[in-house]
Amino acid sequence: MRRLRRAQQRDARESKKFRRGVVTAGTAAVITLGAGFALNRSIAANVPDKHQLPVKQDADADFLADREEFAIGYKPFVADQNRNGTLDGLELSIRCAAIIAQLPWEDDAAPGATCKWHAPQFGLETCEICGQTVNMGPATIVNPHLGVEVKCPLIAMHYMEHGSFNYAGDIQRGRIDVPALMRALELRFPGEPDEHQLPVSANDLDGDLLTDNEELAAAHNLYDADQDKDLTPDGIELATQCAQVIEALPVHEPNEPGVGELYKASFMQRASNCAKYAASPSTWATGRS
């Protein structure tokens, strides 16, 4: 689980750098509600990639089949739900590939951690598009915690890096089980509730977990719960982005001389029911201890 989280965090590092720049340059109010920044750049100017094989029964032609969109809570008639210029299927595929690339192989994984399993065989498989070769042996993504295992041969990983859940090698061809893969990688489905997202007690007209006063202060729309149309309510998105920015901040001692940059500091405090002093800097950003 911890390794999987790390892999997902590494995936978000590019956008963290971007957002940190925004914060140091101005106030919190200018944090934009944008997602997929790194992904957007990874498919330069929508240049067609021949690895992106056509998908059957895909009403909005976003490279996710209608039944997959239903299964993962996407909209079958909207091709670019977060309006970042990248079709949903391509974006999701590249995101999954980046996370899988960071997963440990089974032999290196901590007990119970999500990992990749591969049984090398004598034989190479060739990509029909670019001619790259990979080992033909079977491979899976394994999430022991949830008991999910998804077939994912190396040729499929190659295609996913190019934005395609379909794969076509000279030995194996098929399509990744997209809903199962999202479950294995613990990618949250749009709209799936998280119990940490506590209700807002003050007025919140659009129910996006930002109070009306906060929306006014940040120049947001009081009546639009999802301004960038990426299916994540604005308050949840902003909180997540702030957590990422805070996590990336350098740590300095309080009142440390000569520090001119934005930083975070932790203070030692005695817990009333504990005989020891404790400080957990990581709790600043993520609530993890």
Q: Is 129 in the site for Zn ion (CB under 5 A)?
A: yes
Which residue intervals of the chain are DSSP H helices? 2-11, 13-25, 37-42, 66-72, 88-102, 154-161, 178-184, 212-217, 234-248
| CB-nearer residue toward Zn ion: 115 or 129 | 129
Select the residue interacting with Zn ion from 24, 27, 46, 132 (CB under 5 A): 132
Supply 108's token pair. Answer: 């290196």
Residue listed under structure tokens 């920015």: 245
At closest approach, how far in Å is the CB of 137 from Zn ion?
18
| CB-nearer residue toward Zn ion: 125 or 208 | 125
CA 198/CA 203 separation, integer angstroms: 14
What residues between 41 and 80 interact with Zn ion by CB under 5 A?
none
At closest approach, how far in Å is the CB of 229 from Zn ion?
33
Beta strands in 101-250 (DSSP E): 115-118, 124-126, 133-135, 139-143, 148-151, 166-168, 173-175
At closest approach, how far in Å is the CB of 153 from Zn ion?
13
At closest approach, how far in Å is the CB of 141 from Zn ion?
20
Residue 74's contacts (CB-CB under 8 Å, 6 or more residues apart) are 64, 68, 81, 88, 190, 231
| CB-nearer residue toward Zn ion: 36 or 163 | 163
Lay out the site mask for Zn ion across 89-128 (x = CB under 5 A, - = otherwise): --------------------------------------x-
List interacting residues with Zn ion (CB under 5 A).
Answer: 127, 129-130, 132
